[in-house]
Chains A and B, each alone.
Chain A
């Protein structure tokens, strides 16, 4: 559905996107991760046809973005970073404007407008101008605008930025609902979102692709993959427990964070059975014991700060 080949973009001396090649199939919800300035937004802008690639090629829905920009723009729904909108327009007026430019007409126009306003709970602010809206509402208007024509491809630049936890939840539910038959790219800073939404993750840094995997596989690269963390009811015993854990075979290191101990395994080692056995025989007053699947934030940090994942 989306394919890029050595896609690059240069701003003067700065190479913002450096020969990115990837392919995204329908049904994919791709999480686009990377530090600020990594080239996420630039890549999305190129896919959406806002800026031209300096080199390379992007094919969206079978059409070259540079050669057939209008066809591509009809196919996709795009939420630009910051969800810009015309401040002096009302929500209904703004969405009507987008519907007109999208060529929606008659009953279908009415039906789509009503549906989208309903899905994003915009009914209560329909007659308010955009400049009077809260950040959360404005973001939702931006989303409404992007899904208005029920596009097969959605490119959303930080769709949940500025939303409160409830709104985040709603937007995620909406994206998940649409995911079945669409190709969706979202960029985000929120790693839990990747876990909650995406079935594929791409991490980019300095314009280059650093990792491309399923979230679970990426977690498996973490030092914390299969680590065991535990908390004791009696903090006085923590020091002794830490020493005992470190002495276990298969345990690489023990980290202490406040009242929590985390035992990191040697590569591939399974340490949970040994630790639970130890806890039982030593009679530790366990408050909590669990197996970690890995920490995305740690993987993210390691990959984007130059370490090899």
Chain B
């Protein structure tokens, strides 16, 4: 087993050693279904697709993903185990990737457990399953983006609550980067190029295409880039702050 896999397995097992995993799974499943049926009007729409279900994923992730990512590094720093981990023969990248992939695998599991939604819609009608698969992929990629941001911010502090709040705020910013709420902060003083650049960072814009079943390379690349950049930042933050 590579050191990364060892870290990944430990981290994943850690979720299930505490009630965190079960609380997260139950809340995610209940909320995602509730939103789809009550807010999204799953039945009333009268269409055989899961749009009502996927629309709410960004908002669910906004609060649930930071709850998952907040402990990744903050807890290691608080309990001092980071010193143990970093003096075992494992590189910074292996540790960062191992932990991130564990959290990501966990969200993948949560997503996979929503399969009854898919069964329902297939029972009721004849949906485009390719589009649904694409939407699942988009949702997973977006969760990965949120997780990478959360992992990085979790490394900046030894306090999980602070990590949680920072992550919610940062993710909120990224979600709405294409909307007036965020753009108005820049419009007026910043050059148009910057405003456009900020607008192009919007998670919602990139996710919406995928959630409608449209695979575009730039959306995939966007999420891959977000994940890479924040994991890289994660290693930098750790290197700078691990000893303090």
Contacts and interface: CB of A to CB of B under 8 A. Distances in A.
B89 interface: yes
B87 A102 contact: no
A84 interface: yes
B70 to A, nearest CB: 16
Interface string B206-244: 000000000000000000000000000000000000111
A48 B79 CA distance: 18
B81 interface: yes
B91 interface: yes
Interface string B80-108: 11011011111100000000000000000
Interface size class of B (residues with CB under 8 A): 20 to 34
A78 B87 contact: yes
A80 B83 contact: yes
B3 interface: yes
Interface in A18-61: 45, 48-51
Nearest to B243: A51
Nearest to B83: A80
B81 A101 contact: no
A86 to B, nearest CB: 6
Nearest to A155: B87
A74 B89 contact: yes
A103 B6 CA distance: 10
A70 interface: yes
A221 B79 CA distance: 41
A88 B89 contact: no
Interface of B: 1, 3, 6-7, 10, 13-14, 17-18, 79-81, 83-84, 86-91, 242-244
Interface of A: 11, 45, 48-51, 70, 73-74, 76, 78, 80-82, 84-89, 93, 97-98, 100-103, 129, 145
6 smallest CB-CB distances across A and B, nearest first, come from A84-B80, A88-B17, A80-B83, A51-B243, A100-B6, A73-B89
